[in-house]
Structure 1
């Protein structure tokens, strides 16, 4: 069957494809348009071929809505706390604009990786470069249904910006949902919108919130979330699953078909975003998600790699978060799971040498269960011999693996483009997460709708 052009093919993104590596380009439209275009296009099709799902499965995915959310960004906001809600909400069909004072659409904010490392407070290292999708001076609270405020160090200086505070007050006065995590509540305190409101935050923010008149709720774990009317607060990114779920509910959203069990195949130096974004996005829907790694057990951690595009001939690498596993590889019963997700990064190149890993991946494919693989993850599928006759994409440098493995190569142009071929969803890199998660949701029959 000839490949058919879908609507998202005409939508631009912030990378051009070079022969082997994407090169950054600034100033493009919101990615959610491509997700919504794909959902509309796929629902009109029948059969399951490239870039398609059947009408039945397409109607069981995230519903297109007019919901629109603003993400308030700044330099050295926490890496996960910006990208996870940004991409998860888009995967659910919500339009998200990311803005930063003093910057315009296409500019980048540097992010920070914050995590406990055994010292008296968290450590910090440089994260990804986060591309903004709108211009701060052009936005109006009236155009949005909700506001998300990431934590990290950005709120320290954003809380001094009167334009930021005025914007937050407009959302609060209109009683629109506001979701703030970690240090983001510093902005709420400075805006004067937490008096007599029950909320939590990263523990170090307690004195400021108490002084601002908030009713403080101690975070017994870093997963703590609190709801008070239109206000959703969380202690840290550990609580993203509940945090995002509560925000979706505050926006009038509901989820159907999420009673699924999903397995993540992890390894050391998998890409940071490529594991955490889909992991928490699926958890937020209500799915049971297990993450395993050969020779490791629940509670063990996998170091991750931050892969970014910084003007060189290939991507750069920086250390990412340590990702905590929650299940044992040796104890996995593949028959108990509905789908398999394979993150990219550098882990797949050595996992592809592990016969148990290959057998696991082959089992999911042979049984027709959904398999979603991104970036270098397709190295595992090629080594498992399951790409023969399948149409798929991957990070451009993995084209050799795909072609030699018998697959039909589909160019990821633009880089956020994903494809569904039967039970297989493939993407090229982490910018593709909104489409990647949305297409997996379609195969699983998960639907997000808004009142």
Structure 2
């Protein structure tokens, strides 16, 4: 069984988290059965960007990072307090742990800024929210990343993406990384994506 740590910051976008629970959950029941997602946060209750409240299964201090095979992180909104948790030392420790062990890290939209903030994107290709009105690409570049303005950028074990519209694609890319192309195509088909 491959365990995926779904790391949730206050102010995260629910839709960006739900793609991981759905795609990897479909795999658990309808695919090859090898994935299990555990939702983890710093608080007993988290408030999403649009005031939806979520109770994570575990608090970060209750888990052992070595028990997990991959890390998934949805993005969120600054106005909802996302960066308070996202840029915390606790989150940075988690990201560095997975990066040092070359375990898959999948981020959606501005969650890639977490990777940049902790220094693991130095001279690595990555992307983040890329709408022309946003300054997030410049922010990611200031963290030392080599910007590639594409929908999804995968560099080694790191997956970054440009906006919420990429969410399902990122989740399927993570599933393929953890299982196989054939299994991922089966799950996509069952979910109506083929």
Does TM-score exceed 0.5, indicating one fold? Answer: yes
Asked if structure 2 preserves the Cα contact closer than 8 Å seen for 1:156 and 1:186, the reply is no
**Structure number with higher helix proportion:** 2
The corresponding residue for 1:133 is 57
Asked if structure 1 preserves the Cα contact closer than 8 Å seen for 2:26 and 2:187, the reply is no
Shift of 1:238: 0.8
Could you tell me which of 182, 196, 208 is aligned with 2:109? 182
Deviates more, 1:69-78 or 1:79-88: 79-88
Helix, strand or coil: the match of 2:48? strand
Helix, strand or coil: the match of 2:83? helix
Shift of 1:261: 6.9
2:25 corresponds to 1:90: yes
2:41 corresponds to 1:100: yes
Asked if structure 2 preserves the Cα contact closer than 8 Å seen for 1:82 and 1:150, the reply is yes
Alignment of 1:232-243 (within 5 A): 232-243=159-170
Q: Which runs of 5+ in 1 are unaligned?
A: 1-65, 113-125, 263-281, 289-451
Alignment CA distance shift 1:260-1:149 (3 Å): closer
Q: For this pair of structures, how many residues does the alignment match? A: 180
Distance 1:145 1:157 in 2: 26
Alignment of 1:59-208 (within 5 A): 66-93=1-28, 94-101=35-42, 103=43, 107-112=44-49, 126-153=50-77, 155-203=82-130, 204-208=135-139
Distance 2:83 2:4 in 1: 22
Alignment CA distance shift 1:207-1:138 (3 Å): same
2:148 corresponds to 1:217: yes
Q: What is the root-mean-square deviation in Å for CA atoms of aligned residues?
A: 2.1
The corresponding residue for 1:327 is none
Distance 2:51 2:166 in 1: 19
Distance 1:201 1:68 in 2: 25
Alignment CA distance shift 1:108-1:232 (3 Å): same
Alignment CA distance shift 1:88-1:252 (3 Å): closer
Structure ranking higher on relative contact order (CA contacts 8 Å, 6+ apart)? 2
Distance 1:260 1:70 in 2: 22
Could you tell me which of 242, 254, 258 is aligned with 2:186? 258
Helix, strand or coil: the match of 1:258? helix
Shift of 1:127: 4.5
Shift of 1:137: 0.5
Shift of 1:233: 0.8
Helix, strand or coil: the match of 1:71? strand
Asked if structure 2 preserves the Cα contact closer than 8 Å seen for 1:155 and 1:186, the reply is no
The corresponding residue for 1:401 is none
Asked if structure 1 preserves the Cα contact closer than 8 Å seen for 2:19 and 2:168, the reply is no
Q: TM-score normalized by structure 2?
A: 0.84
Helix, strand or coil: the match of 2:182? strand
Asked if structure 1 preserves the Cα contact closer than 8 Å seen for 2:126 and 2:154, the reply is yes
Alignment CA distance shift 1:155-1:187 (3 Å): farther
Asked if structure 1 preserves the Cα contact closer than 8 Å seen for 2:19 and 2:171, the reply is no
Distance 2:71 2:119 in 1: 16
Shift of 1:128: 2.6
